[in-house]
Amino acid sequence: MVIIGGRTEAAPTRDTAPASTRAYAAALAAGLVLLAAAAAASLAIGTRQIPPGQVWHALAAPTGTETDGIVRDLRLPRTLIGVAAGAALGLAGAVMQTLTRNPLADPGLLGVNAGASAAVATAIGVLGVTGFTGYLWFAFAGAGLAAVLVTLLGGAEPVRLALAGTAVNAALFGYVNGLQLLDTGTLDAMRRWSVGALDGRRGGELAGALPFLAAGAVLALALARSLDAIALGDDAARSLGAHPGRTRALSVAAITLLTGGATAVCGPIAFVGLMVPHAVRPFTGAGARRLLPCCLVYAPVLLLASDIAGRVVTPPGEVEAGIVTAFLGGLLLVVLVRGKVVRP
């Protein structure tokens, strides 16, 4: 145990102690290789299998064939959206877990995705917003309000925060489902989007959200040092030159940009931000300066792999990526709840 700012806190354990530089560099390099492999597989695998050589030809020297159209018009936007949304959700989850010191923190589990979904449903069903640019702003507003509400209700205790997120999730998704049942037009507009999927998305939607996702990613990475400081306690953070209040406000802004943008593009995809930080911490330690870059690389790998698995598990149909990540994340959540990581 150590004394920090008049409070007794646990000393770093083997699970949270910083990993060696060599292990971290190897993990980051391996993540980049896996990301490239997942992107290549996403372009090649589907209802119609396309050999890597034809994929490369479609990207580098298209001639207008059917294969070129499948790769460039369908699978390339889907892959790019998976990379951008996965990176955003992974970063948002890592920032939330570091900021709240809660191993259960995740944009989906804590109601942030539900807030964005409820706001988008309101924009479509009540206000008649039809364009992506219009409801993008509603997604940001809903994500931010949900993040603040769950934090106020749950406080800093992991289990209370998870319960508050579950309650907000249930209430907001109940509202979304009710709105869809009352208005068939809203149901038609949202039934695919609300599942959380990469298929059927257009490159223009990613282009509209990309500036916000990039701003959120830059802000999150820039806050890494300050997040490490406030993890030691507010008094210790101030002594190190950090500003806890400002760091928390900017972190919520980063989470809102990342989650709101990702949810607006591909719908509410849960558990990516929960799973990836836990998977990479053995190689990064608990420090945000190493954790965030690894999450930025590995989260898209998970989302693309989930999307690819959904394409091949029930051919010729598909299982949406959000369903696959929910299945995997539910298993991990059971492990975390039963383990020491969430016990007082």
The amino acid that residue 254 corresponds to is A
Q: What is the DSSP string of 51-99?
A: -HHHHHHHHHS--S-HHHHIIIIIIHHHHHHHHHHHHHHHHHHHHHHHH
- Residue among 142, 161, 141 at smallest CA distance from 151: 161
211 C-beta neighbours (distance < 10 Å), count? 11
* Separation CA 99–CA 333 (nearest Å): 19
The per-residue pLDDT for 344 is: 38
Query: Could you report how far apart the first and last alpha carbons of the chain are, in Å?
Result: 15
Those residues of the chain that have pLDDT short of 70 are 1-19, 155-159, 185-189, 191-193, 337, 339-344
Six token digits for residue 333? 């959540």
Q: Which domains does the chain possess?
A: 78-342 (1.10.3470.10)
The per-residue pLDDT for 186 is: 67
| Locus of tokens 């892959």 | 79
The per-residue pLDDT for 53 is: 92
Contact 89, 273 (CB under 8 A): yes
Contact 83, 300 (CB under 8 A): yes
* Separation CA 84–CA 86 (nearest Å): 6
* Separation CA 257–CA 249 (nearest Å): 13
Contact 79, 307 (CB under 8 A): no
- Residue among 309, 301, 305 at smallest CA distance from 36: 301
The DSSP secondary-structure symbol of 270 reads -
The per-residue pLDDT for 157 is: 65
Report pLDDT digits (tens) over 122-165. Answer: 888 788 777 777 778 888 888 888 888 887 887 666 667 778 88
Q: What are phi and psi of 3, to 5 degrees?
A: -100, 120
Strand pairing category for 2-4 and 7-9? antiparallel
* Residues facing residue 7 across a β-bridge: 4
| Alpha carbon separation from 106 to 88, 150, 167, 220 (Å, rounded) | 12, 12, 14, 15
The per-residue pLDDT for 51 is: 92
* Residues facing residue 55 across a β-bridge: none
Six token digits for residue 247? 């760091």
Q: Is 16 helix (H, G, I), strand (E, B) or coil?
A: coil
The per-residue pLDDT for 27 is: 92
* Separation CA 169–CA 162 (nearest Å): 10
The per-residue pLDDT for 263 is: 87
The DSSP secondary-structure symbol of 8 reads E
* Separation CA 146–CA 158 (nearest Å): 17
Contact 201, 267 (CB under 8 A): no
The per-residue pLDDT for 268 is: 84
| Alpha carbon separation from 291 to 201, 225, 305, 330 (Å, rounded) | 30, 11, 21, 22
* Residues facing residue 8 across a β-bridge: 3
